[in-house]
Structure 1
Amino acid sequence: MNGVKKDLLNRIKERYNKLSKGQKLIADYIMNNYDKVAFMTASKLGEKVGVSESTVVRFANALDYKGYPNLQKELQELIKTKLTTVQRLELSSEYSEEEFIRKVMQADVDNIMKTIDELDIDSFNCAVDMILKAEKVYILGLRSSIVIVHYLAFYLNIILEHVHVVPWGSNDVFDQLIKINENDVLIGISYPRYSKKTLEAVKFAKEKGASIIGITDSYIAPISDIADMTLTTKSTMTSFVDSLVAPVSLMNALIITLGMKEKDKITKTLKDLENTWEKYDIYLNK
């Protein structure tokens, strides 16, 4: 689903009168339960509606999808931004406790595997070069993304000289970015439900001439329209909590790659840190 293509629900409304009786039953069920259908198999949907699995497949074809999985994928993209946290919580009520524990952890594994399969190595390496060439690196993200921001900043501060986390407090975020310029890079982290404030700040930095690296869940995510380079990870949600496992894994890959390119420099820094930690008894000694 992209910015110009109408989403699934609108497509159903437009073609409803041309659907068969069984297909209309499917359409009605999706319109009223799209949050649940996003995670149903074709056979399960057919069972719920009272039609055959083949009817579900033909329904997808009638809406110009190559198959039911393509329709389902678009529906999952749709609900990322339209479901409230309460609606997302209700998705988990259909599973037993043991099923849900395994489902959540398996979803995290799937997110990492899909991220590996779809990773654009050229874009990744280009982002690394952009960071290394920048005079200053700014990192920005809101809400649950703040966790990723501080994790990334913690390690980049060991590797690079000028790393700035854009804070969200009493001061206006635009004040924090007022000195950003064409020699700098802003890493913007944006996952569903996409924060308007994050996008506004990224646009501001772009207008100031900074290069933008967008880290998000899809090339059709809003930040991708602004970014000079976009890195994507899967972040399929299972309940009200966003899965940040794949994004953090990407951060690890980014940090380690940057560290290897600056190995001589960070070796000295790490030695100094180890001496400091020992001097001030930072870590527990066995």
Structure 2
Amino acid sequence: MNESGAASPDRLLDLFHGVRLTPTQRRIAHCLVRHAGAAAYLSAAEVAELAGVSQPSVTRFAMALGHDGYPALRRRLRELGARDAADQDRAGNALQRAVHAERDNLDRLAAQLADADRVAEVGRLLAASRPLPVLGLRAAAPLAAYFAYFAAKVHPDVRVFDDGGSMLVDRLDQAVAAGATAMLAFVLPRYPRETLEALREARDAGLTVVAITDSPVSPATQHAQVVLPAAVGADLVFDLHTAPMTLAMVVLQAICDAAPAETQDRLEAFESSAARRQLFLG
């Protein structure tokens, strides 16, 4: 839960939307999002230290966002924080606010999906990869498994990579040798180091990496050719992944739409098999 006067991560992301940032500036933006509760009170020197950049870089970052310097950006952050505090006062108790925040995350995702052609292109890219590697480590592992469970009903070879370690790179190499051309990766906070290393390995191996991640300034942007952001809820003790899971199913729909005849044939074959084996009660 944000402190009074602290801008929420979503408010911060709205500031960066549509602004072309350099890699260094993306690091600063990501740092501010991660420290959203304190961002409005940090000095330029403190932001520079947290982000691992120079203090002039922080000043240039503020100017890239349309401010005449970092103090003006900090005032803007405090204004946004005051607005968030007022909204929270009207939003009910802490549990209700967490659910309302997820609704807002879904609204933002819906707005992003106005560009249906981009999602359709992602669907064609992933549908054409045989096999299709799906990466999700630690907190992202359940999302990778959920996506893969349904994707396997319409795609002939879905391979879930949900364990790290030295074997992960071996499995990536095997997928590439078998004909994989793209990989779908779930990259969620707290961003496991192994996940980012796997993205780099996949790209170096020639795979086109599509990343579902929490923000357009996520560390995944350093290695993924296609980044699909969906905000993560951070108002409870553990993160809520409502929007990323929804986006995963949207991507799967795009895969189905990319090969409708094959999708229909595979679904009918599964239903026939399920009926023969009496898998379901209904």
Q: Shared fold (TM-score greater than 0.5)?
A: yes
Alignment deviations for residues 45-69 of structure 1 (CA, whole Å, 9 cap, x no partner): xxxxxxxxxxxxxxx9872228635
Alignment of 1:73-222 (within 5 A): 99-119=93-113, 120-168=115-163, 172-181=167-176, 183-222=180-219
Is 1:68 paired with 2:76?
A: yes
Contact 1:123 1:229 in 2 (8 A): no
Task: Call closer, same or farther: CA 1:70–1:250 in 2, change over 3 Å.
Answer: farther
CA distance in 1, matches of 2:242, 2:236: 14
Task: Call closer, same or farther: CA 1:12–1:270 in 2, change over 3 Å.
Answer: closer
Letter in 1 for 2:242: V
Task: Call closer, same or farther: CA 1:149–1:70 in 2, change over 3 Å.
Answer: farther
Which residue number corresponds to residue 24 of structure 2?
4
Is 1:227 paired with 2:235?
A: no
Three-state SS of the structure 1 residue aligned to 2:134 is strand
Letter in 2 for 1:109: R
Letter in 1 for 2:105: N
Contact 1:167 1:176 in 2 (8 A): no
Letter in 2 for 1:4: T
- Between structure 1 and structure 2, the one with the greater Rg is 1
TM-score, length basis structure 2: 0.68
Q: How far off its partner does 1:220 sit?
A: 1.4
TM-score, length basis structure 1: 0.67
Three-state SS of the structure 2 residue aligned to 1:188 is strand
- Over aligned residue pairs, what C-alpha RMSD do you find? 3.3
Which sections of structure 1, spanning at least 5 residues, go unmatched? 17-59, 77-93
Identity among equivalent positions (%) equals 19
Task: Single out whichever of 269-278 and 118-127 deviates more from structure 2.
Answer: 118-127
CA distance in 2, matches of 1:232, 1:176: 26
Task: Call closer, same or farther: CA 1:66–1:118 in 2, change over 3 Å.
Answer: farther
